[in-house]
Amino acid sequence: MFKVPAAAILVATIASCARAPIAMPPAQAPTCRTAVDERGQPLTLAIDWRLPDDRNDHPTLLARCRAVGPAVIDATPATDVAPPALGPSGVLTIVTWNTHVGGGDVRAFVAALKSGALTSGEPVGHFVLFLQEVFRRGPGIPPVLPAGAIAARRIDVTPPSGAREDIVSAASSLGLALYYVPSTRNGPDEVEDRGNAILSTLPLSGFTAIELPFGHNRRVAIAATIDGGDGALRVASAHFDVLDGPARLWIFASGLRDRQARTLVAALDDGRPIVVGADLNTWADATSERAVATLRAAWPEAELQRLRSTFRFGLRLDYFFFRLADGWRGDWRVVESSFGSDHRPLVSRLSRRQ
């Protein structure tokens, strides 16, 4: 389904201009860079963990890493709720959405998605969710902030349902495969962390975590592989910084986001079919944001002109970038409702060209 011809397996020029992130040997991994299953039990499955090539960032990133728990992997969706594997004429629905640390009602969103309410009345079978700012609470997270560890400011938002639900519980209740990697602790006094997740009706494998160059917060982009029965597709969820650090002037972060984009491309641009869903925090217009140009140079099947805003004040912060196999296409739209988040979801349907 997703195979790319051999002649198309070329690394983009933009990736060749960036140094690849540093691969971290598993033996050196602290607990916060290991993985557990949905019950909190340790996994021997290794994550391909990458650190930025600027080693000056490593101590700062580690201090924030030590405040969170391990990644969570539940690679196989529940068989009693997952539809059959994609066939040659199948359609895969993908979503990128910043859920605002519990403000977005993931269960309500999935119910609307399955019903066809978000896809012009056509019910959805298989889907993959690229989620940013999800949260996880409970076992595995240090109960008290360790000495020298650093937490982020707490974000606590109540969804329309009135009850925050962490991403592990939501994925389990929905019967979806899950890959979650925390970026930062959600407040120094809370046993809770937040980060990126991928949820899927199809099994997940090939797990990668990419710690991006540091600015204001630790950011960990994640990628995995799905297989619909006719070839593999890489899927990635990322969240870039809105601010830079004080040494580089807090608000002027376009250079930082471009460095984060180049790191992401260097880690993931290997010529295979891929879909990247991201909150880029691009306050500038897309055509003048360097990070957008960097990502589009690597994964050019992106529509930048027609999309409406996904955030307040008419801002468009959320994007898809594609490299699809020959014969496949993606169209996308912004969902009208935010389902309680401060971002509106972006939905795309991948299908064969007619």
Token pair for residue 228?
């619909």
> What's phi and psi for 135, nearest 5 deg?
-130, 160
CA-angle at 30, arms to 25 and 36, nearest 5°: 95
Q: 0.85 exceeded by the pTM?
A: yes
Extended beta strands in the chain, E state? 22-23, 35-36, 48-51, 71-74, 92-98, 126-137, 177-185, 192-200, 204-211, 220-227, 232-239, 274-279, 318-323, 328-334, 346-352
In a domain? residue 188: yes
In a domain? residue 1: no
The pLDDT score that the predictor gives to residue 2 is 57
Q: How many Cβ atoms from other residues are within 10 Å of residue 82's Cβ?
A: 18
DSSP assigned state of 158: -
In a domain? residue 103: yes
Q: How many Cβ atoms from other residues are within 10 Å of residue 129's Cβ?
A: 29
In a domain? residue 228: yes
Contact 49, 23 (CB under 8 A): yes
Non-local CB neighbours of 231 within 8 Å, separated by 6+ positions: 1, 2, 3, 273, 325
Q: What is the CATH number of the domain that holds 120?
A: 3.60.10.10
The pLDDT score that the predictor gives to residue 45 is 85
Token pair for residue 201?
């009706």
Report the C-alpha gap between 50 and 46 in whole angstroms: 12
Domain, as residue range, for 289: 6-352
Work out how many domains the chain is built from and give that number.
1
Report the C-alpha gap between 227 and 84 in whole angstroms: 12
Mode of pairing for the β-strands spanning 92-98 and 126-137: parallel
C-alpha to C-alpha distances, 167 to 38, 83, 133, 134, 301, nearest whole angstrom: 10, 21, 10, 6, 30
* pLDDT single digits (tens) 268-310: 999 899 999 999 998 666 667 889 989 999 998 876 655 678 8
Residues of the chain with pLDDT below 70 are: 1-18, 27, 87-89, 229-230, 244-254, 283-287, 303-307, 353-354
In a domain? residue 340: yes
In a domain? residue 306: yes
In a domain? residue 186: yes
The pLDDT score that the predictor gives to residue 186 is 97
In a domain? residue 338: yes
The pLDDT score that the predictor gives to residue 226 is 94
Largest CA distance in the chain: 59
C-alpha to C-alpha distances, 202 to 20, 126, 198, nearest whole angstrom: 29, 7, 11
Edge to edge, the sheet with strand 232-239 lists 22-23, 48-51, 204-211, 220-227, 232-239, 274-279, 318-323
